[in-house]
Structure 1
Amino acid sequence: MDKFIEEKLKNLKTNLVNRNYSTNTIKSYLYYLEEFLKFSLKNEFSPEKRIEAFLENIKSEESRRLSYQTIKCFYEFVVKKECPYILNKVRGKQRIPMILSKDEIVELLAQVKNNNHYLIISVLYGSGLRVSEVVKLKICHLDLENLKIIIKEGKGKKDRITILSQKLVDKIKKLIEGRSPKEYLFKTISNKQYNIRTVQQIFYNALKKTNITKKVSCHSLRHSFATHLIESGVDIRIIKKLLGHKSIKTTMIYLNLSENIKIDIQSPL
């Protein structure tokens, strides 16, 4: 790799890590920056034209948006200047999340025979966790008496508190009996922390045994959690806090997914 490119990538990575960007975001930004810098070394355009020409060569709208975000960060954090090119038209696609109905959740869980696996899937749905959060859960993060779970350093390195289902308490008590509070809640047969890929495979193995034909993933359990809470009449601002969303706009999408929202407002007529 060219030393100039290597130096700039290292500089950007340091800045992103210090600002608590997620591992996946850092990986994406470094990829797009490397592509941009390679393009820049081969073309003698002005900075503004260089960025414009680079983005024009990217067919995918989403990749173009991410590339532009990367370049903006590069200018702000590394070059210490304002990005010379403004791109207003590229926006991230708002994908409609796929959810499972409550009956489908029951059907899915019925296929999970391993107690550890059953609890993992149950907590993903019942507490609205991300897979990356459930594998990092430690026993000390649980408040079984008050039915709460403390999420340490979730997305954006932020802590939050979410709910725990009463139905899981007895099973969890048996799971953690005699264990240290500092241990991971869920551990493999070899006494190691679960990795994300393993949890995803647990979900897909159970899904294959059901009659569910929807294209869903582990993250669909989190979407289902939020949607079912809205259908139960829970205030969307509370759901925002439980999910750890930065903006209420992110949570609002679940309003469109809810088919059975309880409406307690009466007409003024």
Structure 2
Amino acid sequence: MKSVKLVLGTKNGADIIRIDYKSDTTLRKHLLKLPVLQQDLLDGTFYLENSSNNLNLIFNHLRKIGCYVDYSEVRQKKKGLPKNKKPFSLPPLGPKQQRNLHSFSKWLMEKRLSPNTVNTYVEVSGFFVRYAILKKSKIYSKALVESFNYDFIVNEGKSISYQNQCINGIKKYFLFKNIAMEALDLVRPKKEKKLPVVLSKEEIRSIIEETHNLKHRTLLSLIYSGGLRIGEAINLKVTDIDSDRMLVHIKGGKGKKDRYTLLSHSFLETLRTYYRQYKPSKYLFEGQRSEKYSTSSAQWVLKKAVFKAGIKKGVTLHTLRHSFATHLLENGTDIRYIQELLGHSSPKTTMIYTHVTENSFKNISSPFDDL
């Protein structure tokens, strides 16, 4: 398993993240596909600006090739951390543990879990194994898991979502190792109920207008116009576009479910222009050096467009999907149809959009108006 460590540093007075790894041609070629990455002319190392968005970009980019990413130094450095408190540090994995995690990865893939889930479970299990090394514990007990949960997750201020991922991953790892599960009665914390960020139609329009590259504009327009997840968009094949019925066929979406979503009449002309210019052969969006366009490249495209449009909200590719659903609801579309278009298993998931629509509040006046 290829291994990379992300190290904090500075360059020209700016905080950066350096990519530390043993010389590997395949890994170097893969790193070069990431647009935000820069190379130091003096020592040849790769680096990028230290930000949460860039950290996600490099992490997701490396996970595509099954690379183990040690980013504990970056994630654990907190602003405002007391000077006498050092970031939590875990020892490295030995060759035996790395081989074991590689076997765990293959075992998870055989269970037909998604690549993202496999990578996440392997990563969090790797952190747990390193914690066991730190504690010099050869027995993976409930007490060790609870101690890891407190020291590495709760005490370090990591999110509830991340804590749940760790619990899920460790449980799978215990199953892989044939360790008794009965005693591992871990309670998952309740997730925070946060409302999704939603853009107005004017903000969506400004993002698309600021995206001048035809391929990039087509990709962002498709995600919004059909409410697609980014993974669904980059996995679309040319044959999945049904212009006769004005539908997009999503195959193997989340939960391995197929569905149809809308193909916008206004968007169709843009799509046809894109097809004539780029002539994709298999996948609708193809990379320069790869069969499919990458998620990290799409994220970078959106980030630049949002910056140029002057939008200050925390916008991600999934925000376009949230906005699609909210705008449909505001236009009076039945929530059951929206559920089908989004591919939600339960209407409860779709109901969250009722809390962010303008229609929910526009007929309600504040009591202050009656003073």
Q: TM-score range by the shorter chain?
A: 0.7 to 0.9
Percent of paired sites with the same residue:
32
1:36 to 100, 113, 128: 128
Counterpart position of 2:181: 82
Counterpart position of 1:194: 293
Contact preservation (8 Å) 2:132, 2:138: yes
In the TM superposition, residue 217 of structure 1 has moved relative to its aligned partner by 1.7
In the superposition, relative to structure 1, how do residues 261 and 92 fare at CA in structure 2: closer, same or farther (>3 Å)? closer
After the TM superposition, which residues 73-222 of structure 1 pair with which residues of structure 2 at under 5 Å, given as runs? Answer: 73-79=172-178, 81-177=180-276, 182-187=281-286, 193-222=292-321
Counterpart position of 1:21: 113
Bigger mean CA deviation after superposition, 58-67 or 219-228: 58-67
Bigger mean CA deviation after superposition, 22-31 or 122-131: 22-31
Bigger mean CA deviation after superposition, 183-192 or 207-216: 183-192
Q: Secondary structure at the match of 2:261?
A: strand
Q: Secondary structure at the match of 1:137?
A: coil
Structure of higher RCO (CA pairs closer than 8 Å, 6+ residues apart): 1
Contact preservation (8 Å) 1:71, 1:83: no
In 2: Cα distance, 1:7 partner to 1:16 partner: 14
In 2: Cα distance, 1:172 partner to 1:251 partner: 28
Q: Deviations over 1:123-175 (max 9, x none)?
A: 11000112222222221010011111112222344322211101122232333
Return the TM-score normalized by structure 1: 0.84
Q: Secondary structure at the match of 2:359?
A: coil
Uncovered stretches (5+) of structure 1, i.e. residues with no partner: 264-269
In the TM superposition, residue 88 of structure 1 has moved relative to its aligned partner by 2.2
Structure 1 position 56 matched with structure 2 position 56: no
In the TM superposition, residue 15 of structure 1 has moved relative to its aligned partner by 3.0
In the TM superposition, residue 2 of structure 1 has moved relative to its aligned partner by 3.8
In 1: Cα distance, 2:200 partner to 2:223 partner: 15
Return the TM-score normalized by structure 2: 0.63
1:258 to 345, 357, 369: 357
Uncovered stretches (5+) of structure 2, i.e. residues with no partner: 1-92, 363-371
In 1: Cα distance, 2:166 partner to 2:189 partner: 11
Contact preservation (8 Å) 2:167, 2:188: no
Structure 1 position 228 matched with structure 2 position 332: no
* 1:233 partner amino acid: G
Q: Deviations over 1:201-240 (max 9, x none)?
A: 2222222222322121222101101111122222323222
In the superposition, relative to structure 1, how do residues 155 and 249 fare at CA in structure 2: closer, same or farther (>3 Å)? same
Contact preservation (8 Å) 2:197, 2:319: yes
In the superposition, relative to structure 1, how do residues 89 and 173 fare at CA in structure 2: closer, same or farther (>3 Å)? closer
Bigger mean CA deviation after superposition, 176-185 or 147-156: 176-185
* 2:310 partner amino acid: N
Counterpart position of 1:266: none
In 1: Cα distance, 2:280 partner to 2:251 partner: 14
> Counting strand residues as a fraction of each chain, which structure ranks higher?
2
In 2: Cα distance, 1:157 partner to 1:12 partner: 22
Contact preservation (8 Å) 1:8, 1:78: no
Q: Deviations over 1:4-57 (max 9, x none)?
A: 534542343223212332222222211211222233351266722222222121
In the superposition, relative to structure 1, how do residues 114 and 39 fare at CA in structure 2: closer, same or farther (>3 Å)? closer
Counterpart position of 1:12: 104
Contact preservation (8 Å) 1:233, 1:261: no
In 2: Cα distance, 1:261 partner to 1:70 partner: 39
In 2: Cα distance, 1:248 partner to 1:11 partner: 38
Structure 1 position 246 matched with structure 2 position 340: no
Counterpart position of 1:267: none
Q: Deviations over 1:43-98 (max 9, x none)?
A: 26672222222212122243332221112222334416425222225133333211
